[in-house]
Chain A
Amino acid sequence: MSVTPPLLQIKGLTKSYPGVRALSDVSLTLACGEVLALLGENGAGKSTLIKTLGGVHQSDSGSFIVDGDRVMIANPRDARRLGISVIYQEFTLIPTLKVRENIFLGHERQWLKPISQKTERKRAMALLKRIGSEINPDKLCGELSVADQQIVEIAKALALNTQIMVMDEPSAALSPREAEGLFAIVEELRSQGIGIIYITHRLNEVEQLADRIMILRDGEHITTQPAVDLSRDQIIENMVGRSLEEEYPPRRSVVGKPRLQVDRLTRGTDVKNVTFTVHRGEVLGIAGLVGAGRTEVARMLFAADTPDTGTITLDGVVLNLNSPRQAIAAGICLLTEDRKSQGLILTQSTQHNFGLPNLADFSSKGMLVHRREQNRFQHYCDALNIRISDAQQRAETLSGGNQQKVVLAKWLQSNAEVIIFDEPTRGIDVGARYEIYQLLNELSEQGKAIIMISSDLPEVLAMSDRIIVMREGQLMGVLDNSSSTQKVTPEDIMRYATSAQSLEQPMAVQS
């Protein structure tokens, strides 16, 4: 038995946000030259874990042990000093600076000490060579491809004598060929004794790279096992597996005539030729990984973005919408994934947020009738069980569930007939989730057409009548979820969403 302590140990890490327990007593170990794949659904706590490790967030309790010493990580500087580097999905490179300048940014010991360009160039080239890259260190970072930028990020981390490297979905934005290059770099780093925590949604990468696999779900540690001991199905089961029965109210809605028809919708490389239909009283789930183009489809339906080609038809009439304002008037609404930056004006009162798209209803002769607005708001507070202390309360002080209900209330007041939910329960605790599901059911029972984008597979499976799966901007398949005998399984969805090659035989697109 070796007596050298593991490179990194995390013990009993716990972290709560208001209303949500993001991490609950999570522990892990990482050895030199090991690749630990960290898996879990969106919202499972992976991001919180690495942000805590990187010093961006502070844990409520738990300890970090690096090379056998207990350490404090109070800020990103501490993490760097300990040899921990996190490569986030959003790069931290400054596009207007050169590659070498970016690599050594923030390393300058003295603010005014002149930097020798020659030495800097030499050292940058040496670092890049260590990971087999020949990027010109004098190029501007803004001119590099995403893959090359990532290499610069890695070189930047190496310049800090990194021992522990965390990579958050490093392959998400790469082409298959670029991804191969990345894997080579990971292998190289491993051979140099660096411990790597690798986050990904792509299971084939896990099989190719990982020594061990750690799975998180709902902030809890589910299992950590050697990669060879877990099959793909077991991984998926561990990631999504939980009893669905009590968490979701039963659906009783009757699906009626087609309501919204989307035909060959295309926008750049984000969305390619997407065709589907939503019916009256139906909940259509859109599943897929983050970045699969689901949100982009939603934004086009809401006319927040303009499609390059393709048509949208509502109740048999082709829509030609130029702005969300027109979409709202046509009866389409969108509950955005990011409520804080897109759904609400946080610094303003809940009532004003509720009223914003509906001011025409609350005015007479061009003047607002505040009482009318207040009465309607009170009505929805009762109907949707929105808990606020007073109508002037700023939206930022509400819990996630109440914020979501305020957004929903404003759309119900605007007579929305097609309601698009983008990640309706993200950041919302279990109790409020159930209420949102009930509302979803009630709305579909009223004949509204509902599109629900969700990365939460159990949610998609429990709530949708049909499910479409997207991957890399394309619609990979439509799954009928209404039959009680032949249920769609999470594995079915994951297969469509993760398979690296296109399907052997894409499922017929039914309407």
Chain B
Amino acid sequence: MTAPKITPIRKWSLKKLIVDHGMLLVLLLLCTAISALTVTDIHPEGPAAGRQLAQLALQKYGTEPKVLIVVRDTEADREFAKAINDELVAGGGNVVGTASGTPRHAIEQLTRILDVGDAVDIIATHQFASQWEVLNRSRLAKVSEKPIKVIRPPSYRWPSFLTKNNLLSILNQNVPIAIMAIGMTLVIITAGIDLSVGSLMALAAVVTAVSLRDYLGDADAHGGSVALAFGIAMLVCAGVGAVAGLLITVFKIPPFVATLGLMMVARGACYILAGGADAVKIDAPTISSLYDASVLGVSSQILLMVVLFITAHVVMTHTPFGRYVYAVGGNVSAARLSGVPVMAVLITVYIVCGLCAGIAGVLDASHFLTGRPKAGEFYELQVIAAVVVGGTSLMGGEGKIFGTLIGALILGVIQNGLNMAGVDSYRQMVIYGALILVAVVVDQLKKKVINPSIVSQ
């Protein structure tokens, strides 16, 4: 008898796909459903639409007709008008003027042109202005003998959910939760829990604000000082994480209790540091420029989140430390007897969790330019929900970093979808909670179907 070669696991099967990527499928399904529900008429108003309109006008009516451009008096509309104008002029068209402002402005400008003996054949505008009463056919006929055509960019049907702006805003809103969920995933894989993350996020924000205001030059703070403030804030949170780890390992306090205590301590510390104020203002200008920085329209915080998720994934799957985390959660005594430094692993995991909360807090301070002692209230529950929905078992030993990202996105998408569907916030809460339960129940059933319990002696 010889041992058969170890065959690598089958590359593809429906079962495996569902087991490994079930939550991804759920996310895609949710997105599809919400997209279908939010299909509406889209009336483009940007510069691209302006150019398209000018092209259409040139194709249809040639260069002959005299064109008046009518828009509102806004930045975006002016860009739209400029695009039409430039495109028409470049194509040899005949623009007689641009009216930007209210309907009255439009009609005054039109009358002025007609009064000097000039003519207007076409009014180029967008969906919004084309609905103005002054631009309907009968009103125009009173002003001009020649018929005037009103043209606008063609509209089309598209889900309002599925626009770049909406999708990016979902990501942006969920960055703090998702980043904290990284640390929480590690903690939950060790069969622990950390309730202090919401408070630590606030603590980091307040520490950033207070240290900038009191020690690092306030409004004059330069980049280095800002980085130092961020560093101090994150270090404080990591320190609290270390305390949690020590309480849990050395004093054998259950993680739930240890972090519950620290949650209250940290929240109280926020108010003390803020001197009872609702917010500590940050005047350093460097911060907002850092926060507003973006690459290809993707904000710096989303990029940071992606980098953190990739790093965490690599650590958990490609380093001994990651293996140890899973081992401790899978069976702590077997792990210890296999030479895993259980205590060090647990302490590190809680430090990482605190650090993640610190990063979220620093981002919060950069976003609101204040340190808010109230920031992140009840976030711990949302973070735990994201991790659990992402397929990490509260029993420990199982879970994936990218599962957590998907879990956070599922929660974000549900919230966004409910907002778009106009569901009020009380009903949102009920639906949100119920969906979390459904996700977890499905996960349990999936385990039962795929891995029927093994008969043990």
**Which residue numbers of A lie inside 8 Å of B, CB to CB?**
17-18, 20, 302, 304, 323-325, 327-329, 334, 336, 340-348, 352-353, 355-357, 359-360, 363, 366-368, 370, 374, 377-378, 381-382, 385-392, 394, 396-397, 410, 414, 427
Contact = CB atoms under 8 A, between A and B. Distances in A.
A384 to B, nearest CB: 8
Contact of A382 (B3, B7, B8): B3
A381 B6 contact: yes
Contacts of A396: 454, 456
B338 A356 contact: yes
B11 to A, nearest CB: 12
Name A's interface SS: mixed
B339 A387 contact: no
A387 B2 CA distance: 8
A340 B330 CA distance: 12
6 contacts: A345-B335, A348-B397, A360-B320, A367-B318, A381-B6, A385-B1
Contacts of A334: 337
B320 A368 contact: yes
Contact of B339 (A325, A363, A378, A390): A325
Interface of B: 1-9, 314, 318-320, 323-324, 326-327, 330-331, 333-341, 397-398, 451, 454-457
Contacts, number: 114
A133 to B, nearest CB: 36
A360 B338 CA distance: 13
A129 to B, nearest CB: 40
B326 A397 contact: no
A410 B338 contact: yes
B337 A336 contact: yes
A386 B3 CA distance: 6
Nearest to A346: B331
B335 A356 contact: yes
A341 B333 contact: yes
A342 B327 contact: no
B327 A356 contact: yes
A339 to B, nearest CB: 9
A242 B382 CA distance: 63
A54 to B, nearest CB: 16
Given A377-B6, A382-B2, A385-B3, A356 B323 contact: yes
B323 A340 contact: no
B340 A325 contact: yes
A464 B89 CA distance: 102
Contacts of B314: 367
A343 B334 contact: yes
List 6 A-B pairs, minimum CB-CB distance, nearest first: A359-B320, A345-B330, A357-B339, A325-B339, A328-B339, A356-B338
A396 B452 CA distance: 12
B9 A390 contact: yes
Given A368-B318, A390-B7, A397 B454 contact: yes
A390 B397 CA distance: 20
A490 to B, nearest CB: 26
Nearest to A368: B318
A1 B326 CA distance: 67
B6 A324 contact: no
Contacts of B340: 325, 356-357
Contacts of A390: 6-9
Contacts of B341: 323, 325
Contacts of A387: 3-4
Given A20-B457, A387-B4, A348 B327 contact: yes
B331 A344 contact: yes
Given A334-B337, A348-B326, A410-B338, A389 B3 contact: no
A345 B331 contact: yes
B455 A18 contact: yes
A324 B323 contact: no
Given A363-B319, A390-B9, A341 B339 contact: no
Nearest to A377: B6
A344 B331 CA distance: 8
A283 to B, nearest CB: 22
Contacts of B333: 341-342
A368 B320 CA distance: 7
Contacts of A302: 337
A357 B338 contact: yes
A386 B6 CA distance: 10
Contacts of A374: 6
A353 B5 CA distance: 18
Nearest to A57: B457
Contacts of A327: 339
A323 B344 CA distance: 12
Contacts of B451: 394
Contact of B320 (A345, A363, A385): A363
Contact of A347 (B1, B9, B398, B456): B398
A389 B3 CA distance: 9
B338 A385 contact: no
- Which of B8, B319, B338, B341: most chain A Cβ within 10 A? B338
Nearest to A411: B338
A336 B337 CA distance: 9
Contacts of B319: 363, 366-368
Nearest to A299: B337
Contacts of B326: 345, 348, 352
Nearest to B398: A347
B139 to A, nearest CB: 73
Contacts of A342: 333-334, 337
Nearest to A394: B451
B323 A352 contact: yes
Contacts of B327: 345, 348, 352, 356
Contacts of A366: 319-320
A304 B2 contact: no
- Which of A352, A370, A390: most chain B Cβ within 10 A? A390
A17 B326 CA distance: 29
Contact of A368 (B323, B334, B338, B339): B323
A391 B6 contact: yes
Contacts of B455: 17-18
Given A368-B320, A381-B3, A324 B339 contact: yes
Contacts of B8: 390-391
B337 A340 contact: no
A345 B6 contact: no
A391 B327 CA distance: 17
Contact of B456 (A336, A340, A389): A340
Contacts of B318: 367-368, 370
Given A343-B334, A388-B6, 6 more contacts: A342-B333, A345-B331, A356-B339, A359-B320, A366-B319, A385-B1
A324 B397 CA distance: 21
